[in-house]
Chain A
């Protein structure tokens, strides 16, 4: 026993190093710890506030592009207004007057200001100035006026950390518009403007410029939200699937405002899917 104590005292520094290092590595590899330890990420009060002050300055340099993208979005939404279509067909009238008894609200959009964003590491996150007090919760989808941005990872009272699409662990269920085939979008860690769409079978014809949208299969994103456009594809002989390079619709360099999507029926869908028997 005495020898043991002497041994430990002699190598005290080494053991201390080992203990600290192991604690750090536990933090790294226990992903589920992440959501609970909100004080250890940029949604905490101090770093959130610092990032906000920094953004107050930086914001002015992006005003023009922010304005442009908001104006474009307004125009696009206006083009979808029913009042802008002349409805000669009487069936159109009918559609307008029918009250759908199941027309319950499914998605709710919450605007949020981006206070921090990075694009230059393998694991990029955004910090947004909306938190649990604004009814933001983990696993909500985040989109910009141009396309998909990411998924909420953890929240504090006033801030939330968003797992960017530009993160090596992000997978988003996607669909090719022309063929309707489903795949999965992930980032290859290189260019913040490009991503890869995988799991599209090789017999499917892929067109350049075809748009890639969200599939609506997960509870996170609604259907038909733009992710990007097909830029090119390679056919690997050994694989049964295409590897499609897509140009992302969202400009991650100059992100200022995003929408957080609250799926009001998400909980219900998840519960149902969990209770279904798995074979």
Chain B
């Protein structure tokens, strides 16, 4: 339920706020992937993939990108469990906590987790977007700057909701 609300809120935030704000030609932050990052630990992998597909296609429907966001989302949804495995302490997160967040994972692991997945998503998405445009400097700058801004926004979101998660 909480995830459904987050799904809708993040979609609306992405489509009507972030896509409308002109920051710079190289900076297109995508914060909606936070939905995938924050899904519960114990969700089966297949369900994770379908949730990511649904989110990606919804955003594609608004942005006319036809499968590009979906492809990038499914990719990070597939990689997510591996990332969690690498970062998890002995015994894993599943036993004690429900979903990834700063409180359950700690600052550094969560930041690493978010940064890697954001970077992978942005690499996949912008490569598809730039496909056939052949300008490596442009692509690289766009990936790096957009990832930095997206990552900043995701950490900001976590900080805003950090106290509540601690209760």
Q: Which of B84-92, B99-107, B126-134, B155-163 contacts A (4 or more CB under 8 A)?
A: B126-134
Could you tell me if B46 and A16 are in contact, using CB atoms closer than 8 angstroms? yes
Shortest Cβ distance from residue B89 to the other chain A in the assembled complex, whole angstroms: 24
From A13, A28, A189, contact of B67 by CB (8 A): A28
Complex interface: chain B residues within 8 A of A20 (CB):
49-50, 53, 74
Closest A residue to B64 by beta carbon equals: A125
Is residue A17 contacting chain B, with contact meaning CB distance below 8 A?
yes
Could you tell me if A40 and B22 are in contact, using CB atoms closer than 8 angstroms? no
Is residue A27 contacting chain B, with contact meaning CB distance below 8 A?
yes
Interface size on B, residues (CB 8 A): 36
Could you tell me if A119 and B22 are in contact, using CB atoms closer than 8 angstroms? yes
Bound Cα distance from A26 to B128, whole angstroms: 12
Interface size on A, residues (CB 8 A): 39
Bound Cα distance from A191 to B25, whole angstroms: 7
Is residue A122 contacting chain B, with contact meaning CB distance below 8 A?
yes
For chain A, residues 20 to 41, give those with C-beta under 8 angstroms from any C-beta of chain B: 20-21, 23-28, 33-34, 37, 39-41
From B23, B46, B66, B68, contact of A34 by CB (8 A): B66
Bound Cα distance from A140 to B87, whole angstroms: 53
Could you tell me if B28 and A120 are in contact, using CB atoms closer than 8 angstroms? yes
Bound Cα distance from A190 to B135, whole angstroms: 12
From B25, B57, B75, B133, contact of A40 by CB (8 A): B57
Could you tell me if B133 and A168 are in contact, using CB atoms closer than 8 angstroms? yes
Shortest Cβ distance from residue A37 to the other chain B in the assembled complex, whole angstroms: 8
Shortest Cβ distance from residue B35 to the other chain A in the assembled complex, whole angstroms: 17
Chain A interface, DSSP helix/strand/loop, else mixed:
helix
Is residue A69 contacting chain B, with contact meaning CB distance below 8 A?
no
Could you tell me if B62 and A42 are in contact, using CB atoms closer than 8 angstroms? yes
Is residue A123 contacting chain B, with contact meaning CB distance below 8 A?
yes
Is residue A44 contacting chain B, with contact meaning CB distance below 8 A?
yes
From B61, B68, B70, B129, contact of A42 by CB (8 A): B61
Bound Cα distance from A12 to B68, whole angstroms: 24
Could you tell me if B70 and A123 are in contact, using CB atoms closer than 8 angstroms? no
Complex interface: chain A residues within 8 A of B49 (CB):
13, 16-17, 20
Is residue A79 contacting chain B, with contact meaning CB distance below 8 A?
no
From A12, A17, A44, A153, contact of B78 by CB (8 A): A17
Complex interface: chain B residues within 8 A of A39 (CB):
61
Could you tell me if A21 and B71 are in contact, using CB atoms closer than 8 angstroms? yes
A154-182 vs B, Cβ < 8 Å mask (1 yes, 0 no): 00000001000000100000000000000
Complex interface: chain B residues within 8 A of A125 (CB):
63-64
Is residue B45 contacting chain A, with contact meaning CB distance below 8 A?
yes
Is residue A269 contacting chain B, with contact meaning CB distance below 8 A?
no
Shortest Cβ distance from residue A108 to the other chain B in the assembled complex, whole angstroms: 26
**Given known contacts A17-B78, A27-B67, A27-B70, is B19 in contact with A120 (CB within 8 Å)?**
yes
Could you tell me if B75 and A12 are in contact, using CB atoms closer than 8 angstroms? no
**Given known contacts A13-B46, A27-B70, is B132 in contact with A41 (CB within 8 Å)?**
no
25 contacts between A and B (CB under 8 A): A13-B46, A13-B78, A16-B45, A20-B49, A20-B50, A24-B68, A25-B71, A27-B60, A27-B67, A27-B70, A28-B68, A28-B128, A34-B66, A40-B66, A41-B61, A47-B62, A50-B15, A118-B19, A119-B22, A120-B22, A120-B28, A121-B28, A123-B129, A153-B64, A189-B138
Binding site for B on A (CB under 8 A): 12-14, 16-17, 20-21, 23-28, 33-34, 37, 39-42, 44, 46-47, 50-51, 54, 118-123, 125, 153, 161, 168, 189-191
